Homo-oligomer: A and B are copies of this chain.
């Protein structure tokens, strides 16, 4: 693969992400993307057969982003820095890939490969990561919850992250989605954790929550 070809491929993915985030994926066509990049539609079709293939590549970037940043360390104890990293990752993943969450059910319905990979990702990898994270924090005495609480709270966190932008858009249809929306989403996740925080850990937890204020 020549250098130009690689570069065009990557540029299509990156600029599509930008356009989707700014204007919504539904209103952007491959023609818009080609025009925005100053390339011919034919050149774009040389790299991608259709828009769904571009969306799918962006989804893979999203998955890689989360997998690269989140994992339960095996060579050391977890610390509160790990919690900061988890929350920042949730925030960044929501914000940088926000178009995916404007209408995720619709997006997945139009993209069967992505639907299948997405489910694989969240049902196994992401669920295991979150459950592992809770077990570590329970072990460290920072959170207090029963093993049976882990599954429902994990589902609730997943649901809040997945639907936060759709929730804000329907609840306040005239307000644009901004970085502050993403911070509010993280605050809602923190509110799910808060009742489980042990007293000793509460001051650190409050400092951490203050990072997402406003």
Tell me which residues from 175 to 214 in chain A have a Cβ below 8 Å from any Cβ of chain B. 187-188, 191-192, 194-196
* Given A108-B170, A122-B171, A159-B167; A192-B194 close (CB under 8 Å): no
Tell me which residues from 154 to 185 in chain A have a Cβ below 8 Å from any Cβ of chain B. 155-156, 158-160, 162-164, 166-167, 169-173
Q: Is the CB of B149 within 8 A of A156?
A: no
Q: Is the CB of B188 within 8 A of A105?
A: no
Docked complex Cα distance between A166 and B191 (Å): 22
Q: Nearest-CB distance from A120 to chain B (Å)? A: 11
Q: Nearest-CB distance from A145 to chain B (Å)? A: 8
* Given A191-B152, A194-B149; A108-B163 close (CB under 8 Å): no
* Given A187-B152, A195-B196; A159-B170 close (CB under 8 Å): no
Q: Is the CB of B191 within 8 A of A149?
A: yes
Q: Is the CB of B105 within 8 A of A156?
A: no
Docked complex Cα distance between A108 and B167 (Å): 12
Chain B, residue nearest A152 (CB): B191
- Of B105, B156, B173, the residue contacting A108 (CB under 8 A) is B173
Contact with B along A96-111 (1 / 0, CB 8 A): 0000000111101000
Q: Is the CB of A105 within 8 A of B195?
A: no
Docked complex Cα distance between A176 and B14 (Å): 36
Docked complex Cα distance between A155 and B103 (Å): 19
The 6 A-B residue pairs with the shortest CB-CB distance in the complex, in nearest-first order = A195-B195, A152-B191, A163-B163, A105-B170, A159-B167, A105-B166
| 10 A-B residue pairs with CB within 8 Å | A104-B170, A105-B170, A119-B171, A119-B172, A149-B194, A149-B195, A152-B191, A156-B188, A163-B167, A195-B196
